Homo-oligomer: A and B are copies of this chain.
């Protein structure tokens, strides 16, 4: 079991210096005479010495590791956010402990505690709302946390995102402008404040601007992913719905395919605008008109913000709101 046969001490002896000097060399501390440094470097190479990050973490109280809580790696929205997170983390030499939360509060709490036990230097949280226990856990830990790509029920946490309310409003308006007066609001769940509070408000604003009364039967909760949305397609048809603003590309793809497979022509007989402009929006046929948002950047900026917080460079936790837009594709009619 001599997994770590060669330690800083071995190197020190072999190079005839103290372990402190070896430590300085390894950490790039300038207070080392060039010759000494070279001598140590030679021994390190010769012995193939590798610093033990665990020991270092214990001594320095920094693990250069951040925890990332993600609902699902198979959802392209979160996967694309993760890409930006990962790149910046790599750039700043942080490792990432990635934990799937499945949108399950119990699991989230468990993984969060695990992350804290591992002494991560910071946490990126992806997900739509937090249990009271989780909020408390984060607050008590005084470990920096940033919420990426969502807005949650805890305004003490920094978030990096777009303005979901105005995005939803614009998407709905776009549909309403096409003389679709029966526009549905399709979301995974109204339990998330991002949907029930912000997107829904945007949807209602657009309705109001067009003088169309809000009808709750046009609010659809899929309570699931692609397949659930697929199955609900005929339900929407029965309701006489002619268009939909959808909160997630996964759902939009499901709805689209469900409609198509039921003989409904998109966009001629039904229009769809989705929210995240992920690969799903480009792979489907017809392609999906979508809110555009800089997914990669949201991830990247979240991570960058976190590095600043971990370095104590930033105290205020103002939200970072990025610009969004809308891109017209084939799931909506022109003009």
Of B80, B115, B280, the residue contacting A283 (CB under 8 A) is: B280
Q: A91 interface residue, CB < 8 Å from B?
A: no
A4 contacts across to B, CB distance below 8 A: 61, 119
Q: Is A63 among interface residues, defined by CB-CB distance under 8 A?
A: yes
Binds B, one of A39-47, A71-79, A188-196, A208-216: A71-79
Copies of this protein chain in the complex: 2
Tell me which residues from 98 to 153 in chain A have a Cβ below 8 Å from any Cβ of chain B.
Answer: 98-100, 113-119, 140-143
In the assembled complex, 15 residue pairs joining A and B whose CB atoms fall closer than 8 Å, in A order, are A1-B61, A3-B143, A50-B117, A54-B58, A58-B58, A68-B98, A73-B73, A73-B79, A74-B76, A74-B83, A95-B114, A95-B115, A95-B118, A97-B97, A253-B283
Cα-based distance from A119 to B95 in the complex (angstroms)? 13
A332 interfacial contact with B, CB 8 Å: no
* Bound Cα distance from A176 to B50, whole angstroms: 54
Q: Is residue A21 contacting chain B, with contact meaning CB distance below 8 A?
A: no
For A260, the closest partner residue in chain B by CB is: B285
Q: Which residue of B lies closest to A67 (CB)?
A: B95
Q: Assess whether A283 is in contact with B226, with CB atoms less than 8 Å apart.
A: yes
A8 interface residue per 8 A CB criterion: no
Contact B98 A97 (CB under 8 A): yes
Inter-chain CA distance A186–B83, complex, in Å, is 27
Contact A140 B73 (CB under 8 A): no
Name the contact of A3 in the complex, choosing from B48, B61, B86, B118 (C-beta under 8 A): B61
- Residue from A4, A116, A257, A283 with most neighbouring chain B CB atoms (10 Å): A283
Whether A219 is near chain B, meaning CB under 8 Å from some CB there, is no
A53 interface residue per 8 A CB criterion: yes
